[in-house]
């Protein structure tokens, strides 16, 4: 079946540091890939997505590129802020499945 | 636009009891998916409702059941509660069934505690 593996956390960075959160997936066919963010006490918010190979999703300074050859969708940001502290989830959705499969999440803490 | 709303916010039950959680989708959406998020883990898909029918189901026992109403709102019912059912239950809405191309919008969740 489909699965998503995220780098183990938590991740602690200083403000303005470079962020990478690794995500790899296993799926049949050509899934769409997503990054969601969850702030304390809230539901998930879609951060960015990519629906086909080599697509780059971007939003609020975050980027991720759909790499089919390595089955990866790593999240990057060039300069993190304290307000980026949250839990980040990588997810996939296969066109035939009608549901999303999530990784276990990576907790990011950014210190001033 | 109120977005996806869920009720109640928090709920405390004892083992063996039954619970009903409610979800109203974002305006214009007709598909509702339910997820269980245990502490420190990612959301796990329970089931999805589209056109008032259960279209997809994850690996959850029959104790978990649901319903979708003509106005697209949905309920999640859990019978014979176990301690392991304690989790955040998330509702997500989208349009047209499926989630590969249509963005899901998540509600804030219902925190269920089973004692």
| Token pair belonging to B25 | 């989708």
Model confidence pLDDT, tens digit, residues B15-74: 999 999 999 999 999 999 999 999 989 999 999 999 999 988 999 999 999 999 999 999
What is the rounded distance in angstroms from the CA atom of residue A85 to the CA atom of residue B46? Answer: 28
Q: What is the mean pLDDT of residues B102-108?
A: 87
Other residues' Cβ atoms within 10 Å of the Cβ of residue B75: 17
| Token pair belonging to A51 | 């629906």
Other residues' Cβ atoms within 10 Å of the Cβ of residue A107: 14
What is the rounded distance in angstroms from the CA atom of residue B111 to the CA atom of residue B99? Answer: 24
Confidence at residue A96, expressed as pLDDT on a 0 to 100 scale: 66
Q: How far out from the chain centre does Cα A23 lie? A: 7
Q: Which residues of A touch B107 (CB under 8 A)?
A: 43
Place of tokens 């990057």: A76
What is the rounded distance in angstroms from the CA atom of residue B88 to the CA atom of residue B91? Answer: 10
**Does any CB of chain A come closer than 8 Å to the CB of residue B2?**
no
Sign of CA dihedral B36, B19, B114, B81: negative
**Does any CB of chain A come closer than 8 Å to the CB of residue B108?**
yes
pLDDT > 80? residue B99 = no
- Burial class, B97, CB count within 10 angstroms (exposed 0-12 / middle 13-18 / buried 19+): middle
Rg of the Cα atoms in chain B: 13
Q: Which residues of A touch B103 (CB under 8 A)?
A: 46, 49
Instruction: Please check whether residue B76 is in contact with residue B92, taking contact to mean a CB–CB distance below 8 angstroms.
Output: no
Instruction: Label residue A102 by pLDDT band (50, 70, 90).
Output: very high
Distance from CA of A30 to the nearest CA of B (A): 10
Q: How far out from the chain centre does Cα B5 lie? A: 11
| Token pair belonging to B50 | 């589209």
Model confidence pLDDT, tens digit, residues A57-97: 999 999 999 999 999 999 999 999 999 999 999 999 887 66
Residue of A nearest to B6 (CA): A43
**Does any CB of chain A come closer than 8 Å to the CB of residue B51?**
no
């Amino acid at each position: 079946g489909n699965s998503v593996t995220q780098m183990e956390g938590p991740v602690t960075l200083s403000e303005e540091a470079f962020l990478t959160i690794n995500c790899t997936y296993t799926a049949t066919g050509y899934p769409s890939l997503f990054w969601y963010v969850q702030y304390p006490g809230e539901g998930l918010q879609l951060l960015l997505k990519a629906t086909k190979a080599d697509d780059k999703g971007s939003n609020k300074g975050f980027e991720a590129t759909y790499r089919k050859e390595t089955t990866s969708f790593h999240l990057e940001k060039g300069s993190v802020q304290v307000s980026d502290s949250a839990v980040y989830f990588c997810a996939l959705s296969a066109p035939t499945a009608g549901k999303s499969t999530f990784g276990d999440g990576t907790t990011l803490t950014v210190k001033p | 636009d109120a977005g996806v709303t869920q009720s109640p916010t928090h709920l405390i039950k004892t083992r063996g009891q039954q619970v009903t959680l409610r979800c109203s989708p974002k305006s214009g959406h007709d598909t509702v998916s339910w997820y269980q998020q245990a502490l420190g883990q990612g959301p796990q898909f329970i089931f999805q409702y589209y056109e008032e029918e259960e279209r997809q189901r994850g690996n959850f026992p029959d104790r978990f059941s649901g319903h979708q109403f003509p106005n697209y709102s949905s309920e999640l019912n859990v019978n014979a509660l176990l301690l392991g059912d304690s989790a955040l239950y998330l509702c997500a809405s989208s349009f047209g069934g499926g989630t590969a191309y249509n963005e899901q919008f998540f509600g804030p969740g219902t925190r269920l505690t089973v004692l």
